[in-house]
Amino acid sequence: MEDRIVILTGAGLSAESGLGTFRDEGGLWTKYDLAEVATPEGFAADPHKVHDFYNARRRNCLEAAPNPAHHALARLQQARPESVSLVTQNVDDLLERAGAADVIHMHGSLTRAKCAACAASWDQRSDMDPAAACPACAAPATRPDIVWFGEYPYHMEAIWDLLRAADLFVAIGTSGQVYPAAAFVQDAARAGARTLELNLEDSDTSRDFHETRRGPASRLVPAWVAEALGG
Ligand code: OAD
């Protein structure tokens, strides 16, 4: 088994838990206008609309349960905590609820709020209201702690360090359409890692991987984890 494994997950990991993906048929970005609900400009124009969107997603997330793919990744990380890193584009907490620790949330978290005035952030699992006072500066400027289009993802230096040191990079359930995550396969390969994609169908970056496997995450991920732990 390769020493250092970096795993990138996307919406496909949580699809079988009942959380919609973004770009598949019926996906969130086919029903909602991304510019209205996932940009700083959209929030400035209509904060209530943005909160309605994320409040609904948060409620869905809290009602959902981890699926076998989340449990398998948590098992792998618990078995190899020093050498397995979990990086996710997902804003749900299903990996944590499956038992994973130190998940790197590059696009933020549904269950955290942030002050748009002073950038303080805090845990909040209940509905959010843009007029709620910030616990640090009291400004009525509560927003979800989600990285929107036009904003810089979290933890990028740490992620690039992990990719540079990786022996194996695995992408699970992501369409490869959003940067910088879409470039991780090339970053990792350039640094000498083997690369593996586990996805329901071809992604925009499938051709960049050394190996691709097709199928639902709930089947592919436990099978790959069993291989990785047995090897
Ligand atoms: P997408 O919706 O773009 O892609 C989901 C991918 O998962 C597709 O390639 C599907 O084929 C695959 N898929 C669907 N169901 C699956 C299943 N059961 N098992 C395995 N694969 C499955 O989602 P992401 O790539 O995660 O950003 O999107 C990236 C970012 O775009 C998100 O983090 C979000 C979005 O705008 C923010 O919200 C900041």
Which of 7, 16, 22 for mutating ligand 1's site (highest number of atoms within 8 Å of CB)?
22
User: Per residue in 101-150, pLDDT tens?
Assistant: 999 999 999 999 999 999 899 999 999 999 999 999 999 999 999 999 99
Omega of the bond leading into 216 within 30 degrees of 0 (cis): no
User: Per residue in 154-186, pLDDT tens?
Assistant: 999 999 999 999 999 999 999 999 999 999 999
Go through 197-226 and write b for each residue having 16 or more CB atoms within 10 A of its CB, e for each that does not. Answer: bbbbeebebeebbeebbeebbbebbbebbe
d(CA 13, CA 27): 14
Q: Where are the domains of the chain?
A: 1-18+66-107+153-231, 20-63+110-146
Instruction: Determine contact, residues 105/88, Cβ cutoff 8 Å.
Output: yes
Ligand 1 centroid distance, CA of 108 (Å): 15
Decide: pTM greater than 0.85: yes
- Residue 119, pLDDT score: 84
Distances (CA, A) of 80 to 73, 75, 166: 11, 9, 14
User: Per residue in 58-89, pLDDT tens?
Assistant: 999 999 999 999 999 999 999 999 999 999 99
d(CA 212, CA 6): 16
| Residue 51 annotated among the catalytic residues of the structure | no
Ligand 1 centroid distance, CA of 152 (Å): 19
Considering the segment(s) 20-63+110-146 as one domain, its CATH architecture is: 2-Layer Sandwich (3.30)
CA angle 133, 136, 139 (to 5 degrees): 35
Q: Which class does domain 1-18+66-107+153-231 fall in?
A: alpha beta
- Residue 167, pLDDT score: 97
The pair of structure tokens assigned to 158 is 């740490």
- Residue 231, pLDDT score: 62
Residues with CB under 6 A from ligand 1: 10-12, 15-16, 21-24, 27, 38, 89, 107, 147, 173-175, 177-178, 199-201, 203, 216-217
Task: Provide Rg for the chain, Cα atoms.
Answer: 18
Q: Write down the catalytic residue from 105, 107, 155, 210.
A: 107
Q: What is the mean pLDDT of residues 39-64?
A: 96
d(CA 172, CA 88): 9
**Res. 95: pLDDT tops 60:** yes
- Residue 170, pLDDT score: 98
- Asked whether the domain spanning 20-63+110-146 has the same topology as the one spanning 1-18+66-107+153-231, the reply is no
